[in-house]
Structure 1
């Protein structure tokens, strides 16, 4: 039995368990897409069967960083761009946790872009939700990595001279083993994709389109949307990297032409996660490392492969 006795508990979980007992008043603006992420995540977590005690939500800085204030589970509010290193460490220490990382497009694709690339490359077993509203919202409307070319903002008053970053294509190239895009205006699809992402063994990246009616009034509200799995106009194999890459490129072009495509784009169920790779070469124990810290009788001296040096004076 795990020292963390809530982990692995087999019981019915209700979505309302993830609503704080004293619910704080959200400071997201009316009409913000972040409400859709919160709703979808509560529903998905209950469907997966994870309790609040089995769940850790790590967030970055920005409007998205408030997610774990309104979602009742373990939470860690990190500094700007550093949500993934914290989430990775938590998952490596306690593999039984359901770890969800969340951040905005500026936090994840800009300031934390290096961590995004290498977390995907290593295929850490977690779900990464990027709230993509094509703007820096909390800091009042600056151009972000996903802002379309020509978009005018406080930092680019003449219009952005740069093409937007392609998050789906970048994710696939970096090595994510599950890549999807959904939107806050499509709550049913969003919940289904979140369930799949959490059940996936490996790094699952979700580009979550979240409208910002306050600081990005020129942006699309991501409606109407087209589900690429439901539409007869799109036919590709999500397990084929080349076909997925072509569909992602078309999706990213379409968004800049006021056409919103969403759905699952790439799924690799055969690739081992980082944890499994480390265990296979004997560099990570099968039992959660965190349990050792709960064991008062654990012999830490036997674990060391070096002798401690005397303190330098």
Structure 2
């Protein structure tokens, strides 16, 4: 049987430059944009993990972050606004050998795509979700976003934002994500380490990635100075304890708008089955990727009416 993805499972040394596309190698983000930091960290993480570009699928939404897969050499799917996660989930179900990464901005992920975010976390799909959080809508020129602080003035809120911002980390934990972290573009080493951990984690990994927008969000500046909660003596909590993680997340979300940027790993549950593992355990999903069946000329296709008992 021929393989759908010939590089999957192949062990070799991978260079970061292999993830730089030949067609559009130079990103066109604004100078100083934090999105460059995400791209650099993601390329470095894939190379560190030894992933071949053919082993990876990157699904993106709309906005500045949506250009990520144009600048990243792998399989890619540029979805509509807020819909990167359902496409990523479908791909993972069809081929669980594929390394699936979804990405979107704070408006894309916490706004229009918020429902997909909460249910992807609840179901614990084995994928990594990177949210570029710059507290503003950048591509549409500086409107208030779900993470914009209360009082923030913008084109859509000229007298100041009247709403409290969403709490991404707390929302992720309550929804059911099994790996949750926050990093920043100004901390490239930590960012790469966290992306590596998120990809290696078996379950839904959510990274709230602070990406400064010097063009449209002057208030956020560059998210510096930052504090790594794992390295600081001022913070001590157990990332495997849900209650302690929740308290640390709440403090982190409060302090961000007070000018203190806390980053690091916040929660990890390695005991819980991923969605794919749970379905396989129940006999609802085959061990071999469904995608491989398209390459098997001898496979006898099943139909839903053959698999489901009719009501009598």
TM-score normalised by the chain length of structure 2? 0.96
Distance 2:178 2:135 in 1: 24
Query: Residues of 2 paired with 1:266 and 1:180: CA distance?
Result: 7
The equivalent of 2:64 in structure 1 is 63
The residue correspondences of 1:1-313 to structure 2 (distance < 5 A) are: 3=3, 4-300=5-301, 302-306=302-306
- Residue segments in structure 1 that go unaligned for 5+ positions in a row: 308-313
Please give the secondary structure, in 1, of the residue aligned with 2:44. Answer: helix
How far the C-alpha of 1:20 sits from its partner, in A, is 1.0
Number of residue-to-residue matches in the alignment: 306
Segment of structure 1 superposing worse, 22-31 or 187-196: 22-31
How far does residue 306 in structure 1 lie from its aligned partner after superposition? 4.4
CA RMSD of aligned residues (A): 1.2
Cα distance in 2, alignment partners of residues 153 and 273 from structure 1: 40
Between the aligned partners of 1:43 and 1:24, the Cα distance in structure 2 is 15
Task: Quote the Cα distance in structure 2 between the aligned partners of 1:144 and 1:103.
Answer: 13
How far apart, in 2, do the equivalents of 1:168 and 1:59 lie?
20
Secondary structure of 2:305 counterpart: coil
Q: TM-score, normalised by structure 1?
A: 0.96
Partner Cα separation in structure 2 for residue 269 and residue 55 of structure 1: 22
Q: What whole-Å deviation, never above 9, does each CA across 1:171-202 have from its counterpart, x for those lacking one?
A: 00000000000000000000000000000000
- 8 Å CA contact retained: 1:220, 1:258: no
State how far apart, in whole Å, the 2-side matches of 1:304 and 1:163 are: 46
Q: CA deviation at 1:123?
A: 0.1
Distance 1:110 1:131 in 2: 13
